[in-house]
Amino acid sequence: MAYGWNKKVLKVNLTIGNISTKSISEEVLKNYLGGRGINIKALYDTTNKNTDPLGPDSPLIFGTGSLTGTIVPSSGRHNITARSPLTGILGDSNSGGFWGAELKQAGYDQIIITGKAERPVYLKIINEKVEICNAEHLWGKNVWETEKLIKEELEDNDVQIASIGQAGENLVKISGIMNNLSRAAGRTGMGAVMGSKKLKAVVVRGNKGIGVYDLKRFSESVEEMIKNIYSSPYYEARSSYGTTMLVELNNRLGNLPFRNSQGSYYKDAEKISGELLYDKHVTKLKACFSCPVHCSRYYKVKSGPFAGTQGEGPEYETLVSFGSRCDNNNLESILYINNLCNQYGLDTISTGGVISFAMECYEKGLIKKENANDLDLSWGNYQSIIDLVEKISIHEQIAQIGKEIPQKLLQNLGSILAEGVKKATQYIPNSGHYALEIKGLEVAAQGVRGIKAMGLGWAVSSRGADHLRAFPIAESLWSEKDAEEIFGTKDAANRFAYKGKAKLVKWTEEFSAITDCLEMCKIVAMPLKLSMSSFAEITSALTGIKFSEQDLFTIGERIVNLERIYNLKMGLTYKEDRIPDRYRLEPVPEGNSKGETLDLDKMLPEYYQLRGWNEKGIPSRNKLDELGLSKNILE
């Protein structure tokens, strides 16, 4: 009997229509745990620098965690991994909801999909029965229509569906894979990889259960964890407002991006706040699989021009991406745009990022109305944001970089932005300074000049600029005493200080890698301060394999290092561990981070040293030996 894991991978080749299973060894599971860990292992083993992310050989990998589908709080998540068509390095994205738990219950830890179907298809998995089904009637439909049609077709309302909208079909590089209508594996363009395979959806139904090695010990440790969650001082706010509580909080700290991060303070933050959303439009709270925090929310707009708009969310990142980043204080328009992105299957962070970039280019005279689909891209013009979201989704492939005729190419502004902000600078002369990206991925919604560890976390993140790889919120939330104990200096809890931040980022990167392998939600694990020792206890009781707290940190370190080597193998250099000039050179103009810039040089060398990487960011032979990765040594 398998405990915790199913020890089984489902392999599908869409070119030849082949479906098979293979076992996944206990050694791999012990070393990589699940989810993000087993996915990078599979990606590393099956791709190289010549792998075209949108070609048939490019694997699209869905991974569940060692705890996915169990009663452990917030453990219903999954990771989706491929070489990113947006960045060319690691593509990896994590989603909540119910899909991951269903796949685990169907008997699989991972699905690896290669090839390209001749015509649109969807994959149907009902326990052992796996079929490739015709999806020609679904191609061109949005995510919500697709879910509805598949459920009707299968006469099963409880089937779980991960699908792409038109954005993924049209190979938009900032498209994601959606499940449960509004949960997104949004980052790094995984939707385009799925679209390139002509795969519309992966549909799952499972009822096989998951074996538990020591039920008594497992139940007791889960109960203890639930008790800790309910008694956290942050529980109430998290469970009412979710991540949207951060809008006003970050604004008070002077960390809320305003007008493409020209500023970090928004005078109208109250108008797009989580508290206002809750009071005006939230109808019901919503939980992902096995989650007592239920941080998500259903909303319905009852009056005004957006009356009738109803959906789930939005998260903090979405409110800010289409709110303060675009100087748009119309909350209802953001709810409408949130729905549009969920229906088309777009990453809201990157989409808001490319649109605020376009708005700044318009402000600076680099884009004119007549060259931009006739859109008035003035700050706050939410109708233009709506139009642009639609134009991005209906991506007409751009044939060549328009060196000679950039203004003519700008007629297809939606298509240009669909390629991501880094590529967009090739079509819009002199726009590089306004393109806020790292390693090709659009930055998330933090004002990193006033939170130094977050800035370092963005710069070294293995999937490009992102807040969740490290998620170093200790610098704003933890006490000086805790910071001193864990990171060796109380300065680690001072958001303006540089001291202690390298150690903090290393620690949180490894902690976050583990939550992504167990597939527990970071929103629960990090802010509610769940401990690595509790994860070790639960995982040991579930699987029957003894894991200590240190074992898990070592697994986290192994994953961070393997992702690093993967990226180096794909052509990344240490020069890409950087921060956009805006954060480096332009001091914050107003608010409680006024005058701050971000100097990476004060943290990066120490970070490399703590990681056991040389001055060019390459892991040393000793470090790789220590982590059992020696065969991956890069000279």
Contacts with ligand SF4, residue ranges (CB under 6 A): 74, 96, 242, 287-288, 291, 293-296, 521, 523-524
Q: Which is nearer to ligand SF4, 72 or 560 (CB)?
A: 72
- Residue 89 neighbours by CB distance under 10 Å: 25
CA distance between the termini of the chain: 43
> Is 160 exposed, middle or buried (CB count within 10 Å of its CB: 0-12, 13-18, 19+)?
buried
3-state SS record for 157-198: CCCEEEECCHHHHCCCCCECEEECCCEEECHHHHHHHHHHCC
Helix (H, G, I), strand (E, B) or coil at 416: helix
Helix (H, G, I), strand (E, B) or coil at 438: strand
Amino acid sitting at position 331: L
Helix (H, G, I), strand (E, B) or coil at 238: helix
Q: Which is nearer to ligand SF4, 293 or 424 (CB)?
A: 293
Q: Which is nearer to ligand SF4, 14 or 287 (CB)?
A: 287
Query: CB of 295: closest distance to ligand SF4 in angstroms?
Result: 3
Q: Please say whether the beta carbons of 27 and 21 come within 8 A.
A: no
Question: What are the tokens at 151?
Answer: 């459920």
Q: How far apart are CA 347 and CA 349, in angstroms?
A: 6
Query: CB of 298: closest distance to ligand SF4 in angstroms?
Result: 12
Query: CB of 126: closest distance to ligand SF4 in angstroms?
Result: 25
Q: Which is nearer to ligand SF4, 222 or 287 (CB)?
A: 287
Q: Which is nearer to ligand SF4, 246 or 421 (CB)?
A: 246
Q: Which is nearer to ligand SF4, 296 or 318 (CB)?
A: 296
Query: CB of 291: closest distance to ligand SF4 in angstroms?
Result: 3
Handedness of CA 375, 381, 383, 387 (dihedral sign): positive
Crossing angle for the helix pair 501-518 and 532-543, nearest 10 degrees?
30
Query: CB of 464: closest distance to ligand SF4 in angstroms?
Result: 22
Q: Which is nearer to ligand SF4, 40 or 530 (CB)?
A: 530
Q: Which is nearer to ligand SF4, 96 or 455 (CB)?
A: 96
Query: CB of 276: closest distance to ligand SF4 in angstroms?
Result: 20
Q: Which is nearer to ligand SF4, 242 or 406 (CB)?
A: 242
Q: How many residues in the chain?
A: 635
Query: CB of 522: closest distance to ligand SF4 in angstroms?
Result: 8
Identify the CA nearest to 3 among candidates 546, 606, 630.
546
Query: CB of 381: closest distance to ligand SF4 in angstroms?
Result: 31
Helix (H, G, I), strand (E, B) or coil at 500: coil
What DSSP line would sit under 485-523, residue for residue?
Answer: HHHS-GGGG-TT--TTHHHHHHHHHHHHHHHHHHT--HH
Q: How far apart are CA 293 and CA 296, in angstroms?
A: 9
Q: How far apart are CA 528 and CA 371, in angstroms?
A: 49
Query: CB of 67: closest distance to ligand SF4 in angstroms?
Result: 12
Q: How far apart are CA 256 and CA 267, in angstroms?
A: 10
Place of tokens 């939707």: 191
Question: What are the tokens at 459?
Answer: 């710069």
Place of tokens 């669909």: 418
Q: Which is nearer to ligand SF4, 97 or 455 (CB)?
A: 97
Q: Which is nearer to ligand SF4, 295 or 436 (CB)?
A: 295
Q: Which is nearer to ligand SF4, 225 or 417 (CB)?
A: 225
Query: CB of 283: closest distance to ligand SF4 in angstroms?
Result: 16
Query: CB of 296: closest distance to ligand SF4 in angstroms?
Result: 5
DSSP state letter for 304: S
* 106-to-5, 6, 60, 281 alpha-carbon distances in Å: 12, 9, 19, 37
Query: CB of 74: closest distance to ligand SF4 in angstroms?
Result: 4
